[in-house]
Every structure is written in structure tokens, then in C-alpha cells.
Amino acid sequence: MGPVREVLVRVAGLVFAAAYAAFIVSVYARQPRTVQQLASGMAASVGAYRVDPVNFQEGLRFFRADQFIEARAAFERADPARQDAPTQFYIAYSFYRQGWGRLYHDDPLYRQGLEVVDRAIARAPGGRLVVPDPNLQMHTADELRAELQRGLARELSDLSPMKVFAERK
Amino acid sequence: MTRALPPAREAFVLPALFLTVAGAGGLRVSPAGGAMSFVPPPLITLVLAVLLLGVMARAGLLIPSGLLGDHRTGLENANGVVVLLSLFAASAQLFTCLTPDAGVLRLIFNLFFLFLLWNTLAAQPDRTRLLRSLFVVFGWAYVVRYVALAALADPQAGWTRGMLTVRLEGASSGPIAGEATAPLAGYVAFATVALYMTGLGLLPRPAPSAAVALVATRAPDLLE
């Protein structure tokens, strides 16, 4: 092997090892649960990942009809790698709306919503996520996160009878 | 001191093998549903990996001067560092792969590895003997973790489970709980161990004169 070719091989090897190590670290950080999520994550890392628009629209339709379980199933199909911040936002919003109650909130659903909205924030560029959907009353992930946290908090104001008149957002 | 490694092997093959082991070693597959998770190396496996690399260096299986040194160019040293780092990561994750995830069994496995490596360090084996020894140790751990313990936890395992239960009767004060693993995890672990051992076999070898000198100090009976 000539000296130039040897240098090329060694440099290419370094680049390859760095890329492969970065991929493995990203897999451990993302923790994909299925082979499909793993493959989608790989596609996302090279910028080739796209949300399925048909399933996304179907999810939106279910969401607006208050069919939250069906909506989440459609959104999960649309974004199997859980890489798309707006889709994750809608999933978190569905947990909020399903868990909201005039007399009490469903804590397990709120906790799941909080987990998903944190993921949405993590996926959003710069951590800032705005969804300009006129059917929603909260348009940013920060508002949704705060609302979920308020719902999980135990306060004296929870006993206020005025809470009965609160509206779902 | 060492036979020079072909550049492609040092730059591509060894890092690819060891990084694959490092990645696959932490893979866990849930027996219920098949959900995957990736376990980072626990601290004890880092200690075991350091000890293992020390044993390899003492036995001449890992020759640091074959990968790093003033006699090599900066680029060659960079490749050598990558091989060493990936070997360390692979060693740590191989222990993660072969050790149960929790409970007393995890403690027993870790102590077993610790004492065995310590013993091997004291015995000062040569390269070939260390390779054989590691093959037996990792092979034994694989069989216990992915065959015996999986069978104990599997109610469908039938005669295998019955045989193990009878064998272990009296060996402990209570029933020994197995650890359920998905079949896929066993296949991945097998490939992981095989890749690791292949990588070890491809590490730089000592030059013949150096090898004779090494054997003369470590195992003089072989030269008789």
C-alpha cells in the first residue's frame, strides 16, 4: 500500500469510527423501543425522516373529535421515531384533554402528558415550540407543560369551589 | 517488538468490531412484547474492563507499543487510540451483556469476574492461554446467563428447568430465581461474544523474537 493511500485509509477510518461511535451514543440517548424506531432514528440523524401526513391528519381529526386514544394511535403511526416536535405536542395535548376533569384531573394521564411534552421540547429547535392551531387555547409547549404541572400539583386552591367553573383549554 | 498491523485492519476492522460490541452489549429485549432498551455500562463493568485490559497487557495479548508510541506517526497514534478506546468500551459492555441486570446473581457474577481476572493477572498466562481462558470464562457466563437462568425463569422450559432445579436443590437456602430473557437477546449476546473474541484475535501480535522472550519469562516450560 502506498503512503498516500495509507494516509487516506487511516483518515477515513478515523471519520468512520467517530461517526459510528456518535451513532451508538445517540441510540443510547434516544432509547428506541422498536426496530422501527431505531431505523427512523437513523433516518432522522441524516435528515431523511418525514412524518407520515395521512396518519397525522387522521390523528388531528380524532383529536378534534375528542377521540384521544384513537388520536394518539394515529400520531404514533405518523411519528414512529418520536422525532417530530409538533406531533409529540399533539400527543401531549391529547393526554391533557383526556385527563382534564371539572372536579379532578387524572394524574397518570397528566404525568404521561408531561413526559411527552418534555420530549417535544427536547426535539424542538432551541427548545421553543409554537403550534399555531386556532382550535387550541395553548399554542406553546411551555404553556402546555405549565398547565400539566399545575394539574399535578397539590395546593389549597384545589379545594376552591370556583374550580368547577374552570374551562378545559 | 510487534508485527505491524495492516492499516485497514487498524483503522476500520478493529474499531468496527469493538464499537459493534460496545453498542450491542447493552441491548436488552423484553421477553414480554420484545421492547428494546439500551443499558449503559454500570460502574463495576468499567472497573472490570480496566482489569481485563491490564490482564491482556500483562499476557501480551494487548501490546500498547503496537498501537501507540514515538515510533509511530500522529495519524497512526490516533488510530491506535481509537482501537484502545473502542476495546475498553467493548470490554465494559461485554461484561454488561453477560451479567444479570439485578439481584444477588448480578453481585455473584461481578465477584466471579473480579476474582477470575485477578487470578489470571497473578498467573501471568501467555497470549494463547489468555485467549483460551477468556473464551472459557465468557462462554461459561453466556451459558449460565442466557441458557440456564433463562430456562429457570421460563415456565415452558420443561425438562431443562426441572433438571436445573434438581441440580441446584440444596445449593441455596431458597429457590434460585432465573432471569427471563427474550430469545433474540440470546442470539445477539452470542454474536457479541463472538465478535469480541474475533477482535481480540486480530490485535497486534508480538514479533517472533519478542514472543520467544515473552514465553521464556512467562512460560519457560513451553520452550523445553
**CATH code, A87:** 1.25.40.10
Is B44 contained in some domain? yes
CA pair distance A122, A50, nearest whole angstrom: 18
% of chain A residues with pLDDT over 70: 98
At B152 the pLDDT is: 78
CB contact under 8 A, B23 and A17: no
CA pair distance B27, A32, nearest whole angstrom: 11
Is A9 contained in some domain? no
Judge whether A137 is closer than 8 Å to chain B, CB to CB.
Answer: no
CB contact under 8 A, B82 and A7: no
Is A43 contained in some domain? no
Is A96 contained in some domain? yes
Is A105 contained in some domain? yes
CB contact under 8 A, B19 and A38: no
> What would the mean pLDDT of A63-84 be, rounded to a whole number?
92
Q: Is the pLDDT of residue A125 over 90?
A: no
ipTM: 0.82
Tell me the residue range of the domain where A147 lies: 51-165
Is A44 contained in some domain? no
Q: How far is CA A70 from CA A60, A82, A109, A119, in A?
A: 10, 17, 15, 20
CA pair distance B31, B61, nearest whole angstrom: 37
Number of domains in chain B: 1
Amino acid (one-letter) located at A14: L
pTM beyond 0.90: no
Nearest Cβ partner for B79 among A10, A21, A34 = A10
At B209 the pLDDT is: 64
Within a 10 A sphere around the Cβ of A2, how many other Cβ atoms? 7
Is A34 contained in some domain? no
CB contact under 8 A, B86 and A33: no
Is B181 contained in some domain? yes
At B219 the pLDDT is: 65
Is B113 contained in some domain? yes
Number of domains in chain A: 1
Judge whether A8 is closer than 8 Å to chain B, CB to CB.
Answer: no
Is B223 contained in some domain? no
pLDDT band at A30 (very low <50, low <70, confident <90, very high): confident
Is B119 contained in some domain? yes
CA pair distance A162, A151, nearest whole angstrom: 15
- Which stretches of B169-207 are DSSP H helices? 183-201
CA dihedral (A33, A38, B28, B95) positive or negative? negative
The pLDDT averaged over each successive group of 10 residues in chain B (224 residues) is 81 96 93 85 94 93 90 92 96 94 86 92 88 93 88 67 59 60 89 96 80 65 62
- Which stretches of chain B are DSSP H helices? 7-8, 14-25, 43-59, 74-98, 104-123, 127-142, 149-153, 159-168, 183-201, 208-218
CA pair distance A113, A96, nearest whole angstrom: 6
Is A84 contained in some domain? yes
Best of B13, B20, B75, B97 to substitute, by most chain A Cβ atoms within 10 angstroms, is B75
At B148 the pLDDT is: 85
At B155 the pLDDT is: 64
At B81 the pLDDT is: 95
Q: How far is CA B105 from CA B32, B149, B155, in A?
A: 21, 10, 19
Is A35 contained in some domain? no
Summarize pLDDT for A85-115 with one digit per residue, the tens.
999 999 999 999 999 887 778 899 999 999 9
Nearest Cβ partner for A28 among B16, B26, B79 = B26
CA pair distance B194, B199, nearest whole angstrom: 9
Tell me the residue range of the domain where B179 lies: 7-218
